Structure 1
């Protein structure tokens, strides 16, 4: 199951260009989430109206479903998302984005594979999952989302007023505030927003050197290293180079990175494990190190990681 952690994606998705765009809808355009149509809690949004969704996410968690009409898995997943959101009765809003009609949103979310589902909590993107997943897993991830939203003080709802919390004396409790980022994390986040991945990597590495148990720094480092590696890569060119040179480690790494960034986790792991299996023992170390790094990026509890780790162990011993 996906492990939802807002800190892991801080800076990996840049929505800043969408925050202050004009939000007055054109004639015939659908209204944003203040008056959604499906079940009261589902709305279609566009590049132009997405700023309102970002603002709404400061009150109620918003789940963004990136889809397209031609996408078969999208048609399997969307009804499940709508069902779960409707049952939550306003505690979550579902914002549907047609990636073909809204290329800026697709680019901002780095949607290389759809369906892609991302949440917004307080204007910050939070990864959920990519691809069609079963209803039980969707419900589990939504439960995690509501927990993270509550930890960040986002506990409102659509169609009802947010109730103030009260302490034991009956006085209104102070609204929870998100803890500030540690200095090195803040430095990395600022560098990522500028596209300066080298500085972000150095900041996260320094944070880990100071505290090897800093899991947020480890997750952030994995994210930004991946972003750094895939920038400028062309998927078709990378696949052609890998096919032409099956034992070229760097060529296989490039395709695996693109697969991971596009949500094709099993394909990436399978490619690297197949490479590990055919390489001489003296040349295997870099492949093992890359696999371990990607395992950390996906999450130790993910069943795809468990399966890949088991196969790696069998190849080692």
Structure 2
């Protein structure tokens, strides 16, 4: 027997899948059968809850409505963590409500805490495939940037990776994930991501910025080598107008991520003699700005000072 589902904007009842087929209670023991195996055919939303959790009681009916509204494209499983703490513990659930989306036997999305109904609908739409992949990727990139701003690099990396899986032409997702790889010392993965960029985004500013950042970091000394910046700093201190030494010092600083210091030395050189060595200081400045990215404070302030020098 099928349920009658009412569309809030249309009083005419429509036939829909049986709610018992779409939404069910499950357990740690049945998780493989109810979630992992089922998700290989139909995406499954897992709602971890507990009877004492007030926000869970508010979230659950809204989530159920969104799942029913998807018309069978998504299923839902509810797990009481008081009675079934195993899977929640394995997934790292530390607070509830916690919702995970499974597709092809693996978690692909999720959130913790209460959500407005509009966001739940977007969550289900993404899972059911009722959204444009490129649009969904853009939403994930925005969320990843918010996560980075909040200091959650892990969450950002997941969203960037998911966005890239939806739209390989999303340059912001590719560049964002590559930067996280670089920041965590995984240069090989970062290089691979940039090398695999489709031709359509090869020259995108954010891809170019990561490429420049990789080039700068490739000049860094090996761990057992003495930092050349130490000797060069003394050389510049002894002779402030040694522009060759300043350029080398700037390169040494940039290679270890000290771009702000590198910019200061390069601006000094441009201010002293813009044309020296075929404008080497100015050209390297542009490389540093590109590596920093257009939204970086180092890049914004540095470009402002460079302009004031060049057009004074």
On whether the aligned pair clears a TM of 0.5, the verdict is: no
Normalised TM-score (structure 2) = 0.39
Normalised TM-score (structure 1) = 0.38
